[in-house]
């Protein structure tokens, strides 16, 4: 029978051994309503809460992982996962899926997604450039 101290030491050893092999990745970005349609993010633009973004990543072992994310009240989405170092992300594709804002639902740029290599060390994030949506018509102050 093991004593409490031995059990704690064994549990700590297992935790530390597993932690050295783990890898954590994070992808984040923003979704914005490009109010004036000028293809840049400015003070007149609105962040889009509830917008859906899909992220697909290929791992070292060749598996394809599919993630679904929604933006928060600041228009930011994020995907994060911890996995074995040997199975970490190699490359990813992030693409906007939909905007729930009734006045800003048209894709503002021609890109259907952004592909990138993921070569960040464990615990570091990759930031994707903002995805833009356009309103059906620009306000008069944009002219």
In this prediction, residues 88-113 reach a mean pLDDT of 87
Dump pLDDT digits (tens) for 22-77: 999 999 999 999 999 888 899 999 999 999 999 999 999 999 999 999 999 999 99
Exposure class string for 74-91: b at 16+ Cβ within 10 A, else e: ebbbbbeeebeeeebbee
pLDDT for res 8: 43
pLDDT for res 111: 64
pLDDT for res 137: 85
13 pLDDT above the threshold of 90? no
């Amino acid at each position: 029978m093991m004593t409490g101290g031995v059990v704690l030491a064994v549990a700590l050893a297992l935790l530390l051994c597993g932690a050295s092999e783990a890898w954590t990745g994070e992808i984040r970005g923003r979704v914005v309503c490009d109010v004036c349609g000028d293809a840049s993010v400015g003070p007149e633009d609105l962040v889009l809460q509830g917008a859906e973004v899909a992220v697909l990543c290929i791992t070292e072992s060749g598996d394809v992982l599919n993630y679904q994310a929604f933006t928060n009240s600041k228009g930011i989405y994020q995907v994060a996962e911890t996995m074995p170092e040997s199975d970490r992300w190699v490359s990813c594709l992030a693409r906007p899926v939909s905007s729930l804002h009734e006045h800003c639902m048209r894709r503002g740029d021609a890109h259907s997604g952004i592909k990138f290599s993921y070569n960040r060390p464990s615990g570091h994030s990759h930031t994707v450039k903002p995805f833009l949506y356009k309103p059906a018509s620009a306000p008069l102050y944009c002219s």
